[in-house]
Structure 1
Amino acid sequence: MTEAARQAAADLDAAMAQRGQPVLDRLVALLDLENIEENIFRGVSPAHSTVRVFGGQVAGQALVAAGRTVPPERKVHSLHAYFIRPGDPSVPIVYDVDRIRDGRSFTTRRVVAIQHGKAIFALSASFQLVEQGVEHAETMPDVPPPDDLPSRQDSMREYIEKLGPAATMPRPIDVRYVTRPPWEMRGQGPNEARNQVWMRADGVLPDDDLLHVCVLTYASDMTLLDSILVRHGVYWGFDNVLGASLDHALWFHRPFRADEWFLYDSVSPTASGARGLATGRFFGQDGTLIATVVQEGLLRVIPD
């Protein structure tokens, strides 16, 4: 083993020690925005951020800002968002909430995230009073339970020297791959454009419905575009892949807890024009369909 590989292994062991409740508590603190004026909130990024703000973070914080202006009995049922500019993790993000409508059953909010005087992200979210109606849902795929699968960090152990910070960054979300991890499928293909992982917040969350929805929103930006890359046998860090989230939509169907296991089943129906489309379904461990997501991402694969 080379010295670089030994150091990478040591970094991974240190990262695995930085898991669980303390890391999750930092995410909860990150989502607890400062209310600096009516309809205006301020959030920050973690100290270990990369060169740009993680998309799931800004989406989760924007949804917190919207939810703080809505009565708690109205639950968020959908959001639609655009990523406009890369976020700067070194400075705070200001969230400006526009109270579009307060109806008898539905409430609509629009949020613009601002840095350096410019919009970096825009979100529209809709909230609804709980109502009864017709019920049906797709069934969950037949997959192994999460406790039978290795952690994401263990799955990466043979590849840590190449993956670098992606393998060692502390993560508040526990991820277990059902399908083969995309870094193991490099150079193969064409493969099925599908990625399946079990996820949960790596600890215990407070009993706050809005917080659980915002944590799932945060997690929904993880692994989704992998369903596109795995189709072509390329992956971040190994190949010259440049990517970014362009837009993101989420629909929340049923109550859930983000600190309990949920299956994230994502597929990509198409990719073209340096963009790829991915759709995902979230299932609770009991098979309940809890949410659906769609995202388009910028993906440029540059030949060596």
Structure 2
Amino acid sequence: MRFFHQKGLLARRSYRASLPPTLMGLATFSLVLVLFGGVVYAAAVPALIVQNPVIQSVVESVTASRDESADAADSSSQSSGSKSFSSGPVASSNSGGVSFPGVSPLAASSDNPDISSDSSNEEESSSTEEPQDNSESGDGGSQNPVPPSDGGSDGGNSQPPVQPGPDADEDASFRDVLVGYYNNLAPHAQTVSNLYAQFNSNCLSTDSDLRMSCFSEVNTEFNALMALGIEVQNLAVPNGSAYAQKYEGINTLYSDLTSATAVLRRAWIINVSMENPSEHQADFMAPILENTGPDGKIIPLSDFEQRYPGARP
């Protein structure tokens, strides 16, 4: 009786200490989910490792090095094991991904003196490939040949080629143009000389209209000489022309006449601004005296007289 009493007491205590059915079901379900998740994760880990690019590169490098070691051992065993072999093993050893810079399979087999004589086609093909292989295994001299020196073809003459002279018709036309500009120099030189003489006669006149008219003539001649000088400067001189120096001389002559007229023009500008120029003779004569040489001649006109005879084309 006492035994049954104790057993009932234990049953009541275990019932009180046990979890409710709902909590027990949730615990069991959670445990199943954990176990299932662990199985799924264990199955997915290898695929994740394979997809990792870093791990893939490491695996590929290890695989390549292993293949190279195996191919090297295979080729060394074949070369030491037998002296008579066909092209089959050579082709298979090179098809495994191992490359030899500068040496092709045919060239490597043809260089072996112990190849059997019955493979005549292979020997012919290897003999035709040997020049190419030698060029590849060398330092690239045959692919990039050194050009011959200049002295081998022209006897060591390193001077630049002589430029051809100008066309005869073109140079003749250029001379005709220069002759036209040269012929215009004499009339303009005479005009400038007359304007200087006119200045000496009328610079002290009290007639302002007369002096203004003289200044207008000088200004017109100055503008005409400026325009002609620009035309001469813009002439296209043929390359290597025989009249290049004549052109330079004519250009200088027009510059001399323009400068001489500019001196006279400055003197008239000062002169016409005065009612009685005789009282200010030193002022309007200053530009002329500044351009007068020791011989008493205007310096640009003196230079013109010296250059003019030898400038004709």
TM-score interval, smaller chain: under 0.3
Q: TM-score, normalised by structure 2?
A: 0.19
Larger radius of gyration: 2
Greater fraction of residues in strand:
1
Greater fraction of residues in helix:
2
Q: TM-score, normalised by structure 1?
A: 0.19
For CA contacts below 8 A with separation 6 or more, give which structure has more relative contact order. 1
